[in-house]
Structure 1
Amino acid sequence: MAMWIQAQQLQGEALHQMQALYGQHFPIEVRHYLAQWIESQLWDSVELDNPAEETKAKRLLDNLVSELQKKAQLQGGEDGFLLKIKLGHYASQLKSTYDRCPLELVRCIKHILHSEQRLVQEATNVSVWSGGQAMDSLSQRHQQINQAFEELRLATQDTENELRKLQHSQEYFIIQYQENLRIQAQLSSLSSLPPAERTQRETTLQSKRATVEAWLTREASTLQKYRLDLSEQHQKTLALLRKQQTLILDEELIQWKRRQQLAGNGGPHEGGLDVLQSWCEKLADLIWQNRQQIRRCEHLTQQLPLPGPMEELLSKLNADITDIISALVTSTFIIEKQPPQVLKTQTKFAATVRLLVGGKLNVHMNPPQVKAVIVSEQQAKALLKNESTHSESSGEILNNNCVMEYHQATGTLSAHFRNMSLKRIKRSDRRGAESVTEEKFTVLFESQFSVGGNELVFHVKTLSLPVVVIVHGSQDNNATATVLWDNAFAEPGRVPFIVPDKVLWPQLCEALDMKYKAEMHSSRGLSDDNLVFLAQKGFTSSSNNPEDYRNMTISWAQFNRESLPGRNFTFWQWFDGVVELMKKHLKPHWNDGAILGFVNKQQAQDMLLSKPNGTFLLRFSDSEIGGITIAWVAENPNKPGERLVWNLLPYTTKDFSIRSLADRISDLNHLLFLYPDRPKDEVFAKYYTPPLCMYQFTTPNPEPSGGATTFMDQTASPSVSHPNSFGVYPSMTDTMLDADGDFDLDDTMDVARHVEELLRRPMANQWSSQQS
């Protein structure tokens, strides 16, 4: 309700814009009387392009109607009678309007709320500015744009007033010109009169003609000056329009597209499209008004030709204003929702294109059709260089035609491709070491429509962000690397799809951190220590000083073409494996700060040896993709008084799909404190599986004891005894640990597989039969 209270304080043009949001599609009275309820609903949680969300939207519609009916019933007394009827009528109206398309109601209310928020924000910024306080750069830029629009509005109004004056003056000039012709006709007819009368009439008419002709001569010069002055004013207005359009299209829209691209790497969601549309619509409106004025001025010039350069000036103005509106229309045909950048064949995908000025130019009166085709990098280059006028395809997309729909509630004209599928792809010859997952394509959307009664016809095209086409899920990892590198390091206005081969290490750190935080849905990203660990891995370095890496560059080959030393996987493949493991199984533990992760074996040893026995930490495996291991400190059973750091065989996604990390840590009784000194139950107990769910893993009728049954996948430290472990696991000898405290791989794998078999057995049924 706070937003509605602020919206009611708007004044002037902002208040007018706010009122224009409402109408038959959503009455302002509904907004007023249900303000608190409307603002408390999660409208943004509904995905408008997902038909599966229709049930959620229908529930919101039903609840809205119900709330409106309740509000109507509460109205009483003489004053409330009419309101009761009106609110009841609105409830029925909304039900009938949106019952078959509830997503449109959600679209409408989201548009209203976002627009109100923008208007209130802009009004707040204006008041802050007038109060002498500094605004941030974004607010200053928006204020600059709004001030320029006011200047353009006044300039356009001035030229409109001057044009009317010119028209009135020209009309009076024509009347006087006709009067002069009438006087000449009268003079010609005097020959039939008697000489005395003819002389008298001739003197009078010639005097009158001289006066009129002198006036016409003066007025012709005045009209010519009016025309030249008006032409000069239009030139100034067009210069302002160009400047404003450059600011909006070449800066604001480009920045929005850049934010959209970074969102593909997990950056903040690209907002502000409604604000951009409002600016583009204002531009379209002003450009069209000026164009109509220039056309009217041309008509006046044709009506009354006068000596001078007006025809050439007006022709130039007309060409300039047409160029401006062409640039606006072609630049505002944009992709609102990008197709997936890793595109698998034979898999359904979606995309949405939008024409930001479609509603203002009434393009929806004859709804245009949009076609989508997939093109290669070379074909995209040719299209942008205008070397190719027709759209060659590098594949076949099913359901690739869609008609643009106009949503009256939001004023948006868009085409929603909901069920596209890439049937086949034609690849080009690859260069050198380039793999199929490094080859980039793009989805080209194109359409054609006319404005002004077919006066202007536009053929518009727009390219999606680069997509990498895969045919199997195993290619996803490498394809994602290509997309991440492109999204992070592409320059605005580049030739498709050139990216630098090398970047500074801090630039890559920023991209990896963005990706990691997005996948983990957490503000806890990669710390400086984490990034040093990654730098050591990427550069095969031992330095712990972040400054040593600040000016170093890392190449694409180092990132995801060349394997790490002694491994059969690349830097990115290792990092992506960590991200996938964490995202699927360990997200809460990372957000709790329980996982250090980015720690090598030597660092873990140094950290743990200074802590009490039983202290452990979790670190990512160096030798296996998507693995995490437990390292802990304990006594060496073979050398009393000596302490060693032991490392378990890494757990992977397969392990955690059987038993969670928390339960595995609970099973290992010799793990006591999570590094540096937190009791393990304090950290992990809230994630333990409830005991009742674990009966199937125990033997029947265990004898009561102070000890607990352990459920280890691998052996504990040899220095720890395990009373009452009921023989679920075979005994493990010390030979399973190598000199560095690691398990011998082959033996441990055999034990681990045996344990997994035990855990899969339906022992709960055996327990039941024995009890009976």
Structure 2
Amino acid sequence: MAMWIQAQQLQGEALHQMQALYGQHFPIEVRHYLAQWIECQLWDSVELDNPVEEAKAKRLLDNLVSELQRKAQLQGGEDGFLLKIKLGHYANQLKSTYDRCPLELVRCIKHILHSEQRLVQEATNASSGGGGQAMDSLSQRHQQINQSFEELRLATQETENELRKLQHSQEYFIIQYQENMRIQAQLSSLSTLPPAERTQRETALQSKRTTVETWLTREASTLQKYRLDLSEQHQKTLTLLRKQQTLILDEELIQWKRRQQLAGNGGPHEGGLDVLQSWCEKLADLIWQNRQQIRRCEHLTQQLPLPGPMEELLSKLNSDITDIISALVTSTFIIEKQPPQVLKTQTKFAATVRLLVGGKLNVHMNPPQVKAVIVSEQQAKALLKNESTHSESSGEILNNNCVMEYHQATGTLSAHFRNMSLKRIKRSDRRGAESVTEEKFTVLFESQFSVGGNELVFHVKDNNATATVLWDNAFAEPGRVPFIVPDKVMWPQLCEALDMKYKAEMHSGRGLSEDNMVFLAQKAFTSSSNNPEDFRNVSISWAQFNRESLPGRNFTFWQWFDGVVELMKKHLKPHWNDGAILGFVNKQQAQDMLLSKPNGTFLLRFSDSEIGGITIAWVAENPNKQGERLVWNLLPYTTKDFSIRSLADRISDLNHLLFLYPDRPKDEVFAKYYTPPLSKAVDGYVKPQIKQVVPEFTTPKSEPSGGTPSFMDQTASPSVSHPSSFGVYPSMSDTMLDAEGDFDLEDTMDVARHVEELLRRPMANQWSSQQS
């Protein structure tokens, strides 16, 4: 009961958090009137993931219900009548709710008691700090995180208020714009009136139109400024979100995982996961609110396009916020309860996987499935070579699929593998003094989540395990303490490991050249040096290799390299072995190389911005400026694109591609991989054909008589990247009035064109000077 007495003394945010622990799943009145009894029970002795413990949990439930009924019967007198009815109702409610799942009651109460203990401890530390003693580092970190959340909440509320103001201003602007169109229509209809009356009405209407247009011109500039200011505020909020997320995921969550590792060696129980979940849920809530605000801004911009960079700014904001939420979802898929460190065949074992943001993002509305696969140390090289973890298993686990369940009482989304059993294991051939106990295995978990009604889909696959295996195999010292590897290695050592892997995947002697290694060094160290000697004595850490994201990206160096390997292995291996793919070339290098070659020369390079992507760059005339030559880049192709149409066939389709860099005719290189022409119609049916088309470089031509019709591949067709232009709109139709003489606002592009014309009047120069 001592804990409950202290919990009742909490104030402010801590009190709100304590109250939020209770609800219909477990009423706060039950906690209050049975406080002493609840705190005396051995809730922690029940193993939640062990079905055998259900009988123990059932006894605790029955005893709780009996104690509550006894407490109800003790209530007497007029004042106790209502309490007697209420406690009796709660007894029946708890019985019906948890009778079939008593372990959930234990889970609920354990969560409540641990949360109360944490809140009381934090309040105690804070009060002792106020008495002149410095708070410990844990309390300081927690206080810093909570303060940052308050800043983010206020910033998000401020952008919400500004967004509403912008929406109201824009709606009123459109109403006034419609009024201006009505005045214009009335002026057009004056020709049917007598001259005297026409002159009088025309003067009044012209004066009114001048007033409205002056207001529209001024308000259009104001709307532009509102939009730009709001985008700047969102950018600041995103910066704060990234900083907070880095603190929680890269520091607090990593420390929890480290404590979990030490617990496996006999260290203290890791704990603190509920605190991490509460932080991650707050992050998810704030990120999602900001994402929705940015999308509403996009809608307003589409509703009323105005000249200016808003479309590009909002696209960047949307991309950034999606990267942030992607990192949050994929990083908070954790193993809450690790499998045992010693596995035996025909012996049951358990594990629990948890998504810390699952409840907040409503992932449970479409419950994801999680699969467990076992991988051995002896299969490390096979793990690196095979297509996916589906074929990388070194044994068979029974009951290795589990659907994630949402526990309303605790707000957790988790998958409990309660009855996994190692049916069989593939042992390696042992030599010398090696024993079976020296073999090491790991259980990998993977799943796929959808967020926002399938608006965003995340596939969680632990390719980081592949990086771990590569690093471990390459750099572990002979006779090492198990699993101990250096945190840093010399760059040439890593190059050797990457080259070995690349050769193995390509099944050829063509590995990574010195130029390729320089490219990778530039990417890993964010360097512009082209001299390989500059990297001879440089070390690279594990964090640089596969923990820290590359600048401006949401993936690590290893994830980018592994994506390249997967793409090459699945679709482009012959072209690499033929020397047709340069690959490891950045955008600027490709431009410098191509501009010295004839028009139509092209090369293939790996995408910097997308994992597992490859793009075609080529040199051609600028269609908008005679005599100027530009290097063009297609949007990157991925595995999905090549499953529809091969690289060779896509290159064959593009007639403007003539020579593979430096000067090889494309047919000489790729013709042997072209798909043979389609046969003639069979049984009266003509088979359609997919063709790659780039509209800017397509010359219209008629199909020959009797030819096979072709259909453009819409889903996989890339577009040419070129500078965006603003203030360009289609020609205006003859009239903007419908049959009733009213303005039709559905064609917002026409509205935008009129607004742009307004802005070019008196205030056009002012807007230009503001932008400069």
2: CA distance, partners of 1:753 / 1:190 = 25
Secondary structure of 2:378's aligned partner: helix
1: CA distance, partners of 2:440 / 2:378 = 10
The alpha carbon displacement at 1:399 in A equals 1.0
The alpha carbon displacement at 1:392 in A equals 2.4
Contact 1:504 1:553 in 2 (8 A): yes
The 1:216/1:411 distance shift into structure 2, 3 A limit, reads: same
Contact 1:635 1:719 in 2 (8 A): no
2: CA distance, partners of 1:366 / 1:604 = 45
Contact 2:218 2:763 in 1 (8 A): no
The alpha carbon displacement at 1:506 in A equals 31
1:408-438 Cα distance to aligned partner (Å, 9 max, x none): 1111111111111122223457799765433
The alpha carbon displacement at 1:576 in A equals 40
The 1:668/1:499 distance shift into structure 2, 3 A limit, reads: same
Contact 1:672 1:679 in 2 (8 A): yes
The alpha carbon displacement at 1:499 in A equals 2.5
The alpha carbon displacement at 1:116 in A equals 1.7
**Stretch moving more, 114-123 or 162-171:** 114-123
The alpha carbon displacement at 1:636 in A equals 109
The 1:10/1:708 distance shift into structure 2, 3 A limit, reads: farther
1: CA distance, partners of 2:24 / 2:766 = 68
1:177-227 Cα distance to aligned partner (Å, 9 max, x none): 111111111111111111111111111111111111111111111111111
1:346-378 Cα distance to aligned partner (Å, 9 max, x none): 221111111111111111111111111112348
Contact 1:664 1:712 in 2 (8 A): no
1:631-669 Cα distance to aligned partner (Å, 9 max, x none): 999999999999999999999999999999999999999
1: CA distance, partners of 2:397 / 2:568 = 35
**Stretch moving more, 1-10 or 714-723:** 714-723
Contact 2:327 2:554 in 1 (8 A): no
**Stretch moving more, 439-448 or 285-294:** 439-448
1:586-626 Cα distance to aligned partner (Å, 9 max, x none): 99999999999999999999999999999999999999999
1:280-299 Cα distance to aligned partner (Å, 9 max, x none): 11111111001000011110
**Stretch moving more, 306-315 or 739-748:** 739-748
1: CA distance, partners of 2:703 / 2:212 = 127
1: CA distance, partners of 2:283 / 2:647 = 58
1:251-306 Cα distance to aligned partner (Å, 9 max, x none): 11111111111111100011001111111111111110010000111101100101
The 1:351/1:389 distance shift into structure 2, 3 A limit, reads: closer
The 1:742/1:576 distance shift into structure 2, 3 A limit, reads: farther
Secondary structure of 1:378's aligned partner: coil
**Stretch moving more, 213-222 or 374-383:** 374-383
1: CA distance, partners of 2:3 / 2:595 = 57
Contact 2:745 2:751 in 1 (8 A): no
Pick from 650, 657, 663 the counterpart of residue 677 of structure 1: 663
1:504-543 Cα distance to aligned partner (Å, 9 max, x none): 9999999999999999999999999999999999999999
The alpha carbon displacement at 1:702 in A equals 122
**Stretch moving more, 65-74 or 542-551:** 542-551
Contact 1:61 1:102 in 2 (8 A): yes
The 1:529/1:229 distance shift into structure 2, 3 A limit, reads: closer
Secondary structure of 1:746's aligned partner: coil
The 1:290/1:189 distance shift into structure 2, 3 A limit, reads: same
The 1:739/1:338 distance shift into structure 2, 3 A limit, reads: farther
The 1:376/1:313 distance shift into structure 2, 3 A limit, reads: farther
2: CA distance, partners of 1:744 / 1:295 = 25
TM-score w.r.t. the length of structure 2 is: 0.60
The 1:342/1:517 distance shift into structure 2, 3 A limit, reads: farther
Secondary structure of 1:765's aligned partner: helix
Contact 1:636 1:718 in 2 (8 A): no
The alpha carbon displacement at 1:761 in A equals 116
The alpha carbon displacement at 1:550 in A equals 33
The alpha carbon displacement at 1:333 in A equals 0.7
The 1:100/1:507 distance shift into structure 2, 3 A limit, reads: farther
1: CA distance, partners of 2:753 / 2:220 = 103
The alpha carbon displacement at 1:677 in A equals 95
The alpha carbon displacement at 1:2 in A equals 2.1
How many corresponding residue pairs? Answer: 755
The alpha carbon displacement at 1:17 in A equals 2.3
Which residue of 2 is the match for residue 706 of structure 1?
Answer: 706
**Stretch moving more, 563-572 or 657-666:** 657-666
Secondary structure of 1:736's aligned partner: coil
The alpha carbon displacement at 1:176 in A equals 1.0
**Stretch moving more, 169-178 or 623-632:** 623-632
The alpha carbon displacement at 1:11 in A equals 2.9
The 1:73/1:722 distance shift into structure 2, 3 A limit, reads: farther
2: CA distance, partners of 1:9 / 1:335 = 35
Pick from 506, 509, 522 the counterpart of residue 523 of structure 1: 509
Which residue of 2 is the match for residue 445 of structure 1?
Answer: 445
The alpha carbon displacement at 1:231 in A equals 0.6
2: CA distance, partners of 1:93 / 1:334 = 33
Secondary structure of 2:262's aligned partner: helix
The alpha carbon displacement at 1:340 in A equals 1.1
The alpha carbon displacement at 1:28 in A equals 1.0
Larger RCO (CA under 8 A, 6+ residues apart): 2
The 1:179/1:123 distance shift into structure 2, 3 A limit, reads: farther
The alpha carbon displacement at 1:336 in A equals 0.7
**Stretch moving more, 419-428 or 319-328:** 419-428
The alpha carbon displacement at 1:118 in A equals 2.1
The alpha carbon displacement at 1:456 in A equals 0.5
**Stretch moving more, 425-434 or 575-584:** 575-584
1:427 to 2:427 alignment? yes
The 1:84/1:184 distance shift into structure 2, 3 A limit, reads: same
1:745-770 Cα distance to aligned partner (Å, 9 max, x none): 99999999999999999999999999
Which residue of 2 is the match for residue 573 of structure 1?
Answer: 559
Contact 2:405 2:413 in 1 (8 A): yes
**Stretch moving more, 574-583 or 195-204:** 574-583
2: CA distance, partners of 1:650 / 1:213 = 46
**Stretch moving more, 592-601 or 161-170:** 592-601
**Stretch moving more, 493-502 or 43-52:** 493-502
Contact 1:298 1:311 in 2 (8 A): yes
The 1:668/1:59 distance shift into structure 2, 3 A limit, reads: farther
The alpha carbon displacement at 1:12 in A equals 3.1
1:136-184 Cα distance to aligned partner (Å, 9 max, x none): 1111111111111111111111111111111111111111111111111
5+ long unaligned stretches in structure 1: 462-475
The 1:508/1:387 distance shift into structure 2, 3 A limit, reads: closer
1:668-709 Cα distance to aligned partner (Å, 9 max, x none): 9999999999999999999999999xxx99999999999999
Contact 2:635 2:720 in 1 (8 A): no
2: CA distance, partners of 1:729 / 1:194 = 39
